[in-house]
């Protein structure tokens, strides 16, 4: 790890100065998800050749501003990505994906210029179709994450005993079936697979309602190794990175596992969904404990920890952000509660947070939400650290932070000493404008 990146992050760390302020955080970027008006040059769907179809049925989408290269048009039926067979500026020919959600769903097209407003479409479940129940490792452990080349087991019903009579897709990419029984298929993840909905077709009849599998790398990509804020575009836009996975590790010091409250994780997942365009899926994994007695952390310590405990990195159509919750405090400044020190790396000093809260520490969830939102804001390049400002609103006294004391990107997150009343819980209008103009919602 080059020394300039942690140094840059350290310069963005600030000390809490007021009596009511308990938390501080560092640099980064953020965004979320709902259907906003599309940019003028974003794709638009005018009509579909049919309004309902079963999986593996070919349909035609007509509209405007489609890419002429099929692979640059990302067609989604809900969270399930379709195979695009042919592309013209005003029409796309695609196949309804196996594993798409049965019933009414939202059809969208995402290109480099944006995501179309959704159009209603009905996916029909076929009689006698196979059903996918869950994805497991070959040892029988349920999983939602895999590496390219790994072997996994799909359990369910209605499969054929002959592997050749079963077809499996991860998103639009076919996976080879190694062994088969009526209730289980063993597959190998293709090297070119990205994250996507898992679908199965047996003797030509395809499943619906498939689970999402996140395909990641076990080696850091250039995106993961880069400076704070440089992953903002990949996170905010819907293409080509269609999926976001958040991996979390929590220190076990032998007496306490310093992990966040579940409600804080649900809240940050909802905030990301609100601000990011991710037509595939956004998921936050459950915290995984790691053993360590360390109680004082430098940037070098955090980097060494990350290399030892982080399992997943960005790959293909997926961005992975890693958050490590640790005991003790930041050696350079024990008032720091959160730190974003690389493009996809966040550290939260959970014990320091709870110590500051004192008697309120059993209700730390809202404080954790505020810290996570602030740090993800840095990952998304706010303010002016990778994501340009619509209107100047960076605090000259606190670079990388908002001048508005009611914004969660303000340098000091305030909590009253008598109750968990947090003034800053969301991005202000200026930050939201920055995210939207950079490709988010």
Give the per-residue pLDDT at 393: 98
* Same domain (yes/no): 48, 166: no
Domain boundary among 148, 173, 207: 207
For residues 318 and 291, state if they share a domain. yes
Region 382-399 average pLDDT: 96
What residue has token string 């002959």?
Answer: 162
**What's the pLDDT score for residue 366?**
86
What is the rounded average pLDDT for all residues in the chain? 89
- Asked whether residue 427 falls in the same domain as residue 302, the answer is yes
163 shares its domain with 104: no
**Same domain membership, residue 88 and residue 14:** no
Per-residue pLDDT, averaged over 114-127, amounts to: 96
For the entire predicted model, the pTM comes to 0.90
- pLDDT confidence of residue 266: 96
User: Are both 162 and 264 inside the same structural domain?
Assistant: no
- CATH label of the domain that carries residue 224: 3.40.390.10
Res 14: pLDDT: 26
In a domain, 93, yes or no: yes
Question: Is pLDDT of 418 > 80?
Answer: no
Q: Does some domain include residue 226?
A: yes
Give, as one character, the DSSP assignment of residue 279. S
Q: How large is the average pLDDT for residues 252-270?
A: 96
CA angle 274, 195, 103 (to 5 degrees): 65
Residue 412: the pLDDT is 83
Examine the domain organization and report whether 298 and 429 are in the same domain. yes
Closest CA to 321 of 232, 425, 411, 191: 232
- What is the structure's pLDDT at 7? 27
> What is Dmax (Cα atoms) for the chain?
70
- 61 pairs with which residues across the strands? 48, 92
Residue 368: the pLDDT is: 92
More confident residue, 287 or 364: 287
Q: For 250-278, what is the mean pLDDT? A: 96
Instruction: State the pLDDT confidence band at 416, using cuts at 50, 70 and 90.
Output: low
Together in a domain, 29 and 96 = no
Number of domains comprising the chain: 3
399: buried, middle or exposed (CB in 10 Å: 19+, 13-18, 0-12)? middle
- pLDDT tens profile 47-100: 999 999 999 999 999 999 999 999 999 999 999 999 999 999 999 999 999 999
Let me know if residue 232 belongs to a domain. yes
Asked if 225 and 251 sit in the same domain, the reply is: yes
pLDDT tens-place string over residues 295-351: 999 999 999 999 999 999 999 999 999 999 999 999 999 889 999 999 999 999 999
Statement: residue 35 has pLDDT above 50 = no
User: How far lies 120's CA from each of 22, 46, 267, in Å?
Assistant: 47, 11, 28
| 3-class secondary structure, 28 | strand
- CATH code for the domain of 113: 2.60.40.10
- Site of tokens 């909802």: 270
Domain that holds residue 189: 131-207
Tell me whether residue 126 is in a domain. no
The residue from 207, 232, 261 where one domain ends is 207
Are 276 and 33 a contacting pair, CB within 8 Å? Answer: yes
Please check whether residue 63 is in contact with residue 46, taking contact to mean a CB–CB distance below 8 angstroms.
Answer: yes
In this structure, are 225 and 357 located in the same domain?
A: yes
Q: Is 254 inside any structural domain? A: yes
In sequence order, what are the residues at sequence separation of 6 or more whose Cβ sits closer than 8 angstroms to the Cβ of residue 98? 55, 56, 167, 169, 199, 200, 201, 206, 207, 208, 210
- pLDDT of 272 higher than 90: yes
In a domain, 39, yes or no: no
């Amino acid at each position: 790890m080059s020394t300039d990146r942690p140094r840059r992050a350290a310069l963005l760390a600030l000390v809490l100065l007021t009596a009511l302020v308990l938390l501080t955080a560092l640099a980064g970027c953020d965004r979320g998800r709902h259907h906003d008006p599309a940019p003028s040059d974003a794709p638009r769907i005018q009509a579909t050749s049919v309004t309902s179809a079963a999986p593996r049925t070919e349909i035609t989408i007509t509209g405007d501003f489609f890419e002429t290269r099929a692979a640059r048009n990302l067609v989604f039926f809900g969270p399930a990505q379709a195979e695009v067979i042919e592309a013209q500026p005003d029409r796309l020919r695609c196949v309804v994906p196996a594993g798409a959600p049965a019933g009414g769903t939202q059809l969208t097209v995402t290109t480099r210029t944006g995501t179309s407003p959704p159009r209603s479409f009905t996916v029909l479940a076929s009689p006698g179709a196979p059903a996918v129940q869950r994805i497991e490792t070959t040892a029988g452990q349920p999983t939602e994450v895999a590496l390219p080349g790994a072997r996994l087991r799909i359990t369910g019903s209605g499969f054929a005993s002959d592997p050749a009579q079963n077809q499996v897709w991860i998103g639009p990419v076919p996976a080879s079936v190694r062994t088969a029984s009526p209730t289980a298929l063993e597959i190998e993840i293709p090297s070119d697979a990205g994250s996507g909905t898992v679908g199965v077709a047996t003797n030509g009849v395809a499943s619906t309602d498939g689970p999402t599998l996140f395909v990641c790398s076990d080696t850091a990509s250039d995106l993961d190794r880069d400076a704070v804020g440089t992953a903002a575009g990949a996170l905010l836009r819907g293409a080509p990175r269609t999926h976001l996975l958040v991996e979390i590790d929590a220190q076990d010091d032998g007496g306490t596992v310093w992990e966040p409250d579940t409600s804080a994780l649900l809240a940050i997942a909802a905030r990301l969904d609100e601000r990011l365009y991710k037509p595939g899926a956004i998921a936050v994994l459950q915290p995984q404990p790691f053993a360590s007695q360390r109680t004082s952390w430098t940037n070098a310590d955090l980097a060494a920890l990350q290399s030892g405990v982080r399992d997943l990195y960005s790959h293909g159509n997926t961005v992975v952000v890693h958050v490590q919750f640790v005991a003790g405090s930041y050696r350079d400044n024990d008032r720091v509660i959160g730190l974003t020190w690389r493009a996809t790396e966040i550290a939260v000093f959970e014990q320091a947070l709870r110590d500051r809260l004192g008697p309120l520490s059993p209700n730390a969830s809202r404080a954790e939400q505020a810290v996570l939102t602030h740090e993800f804001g840095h990952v998304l390049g706010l303010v002016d650290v990778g994501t340009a400002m619509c209107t100047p609103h960076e605090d000259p006294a606190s670079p990388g932070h908002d001048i508005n004391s009611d914004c969660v990107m303000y340098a000091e997150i305030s909590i009253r000493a008598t109750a968990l009343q947090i003034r800053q819980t969301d991005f202000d209008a200026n930050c939201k404008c920055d995210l939207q103009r950079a490709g988010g919602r």
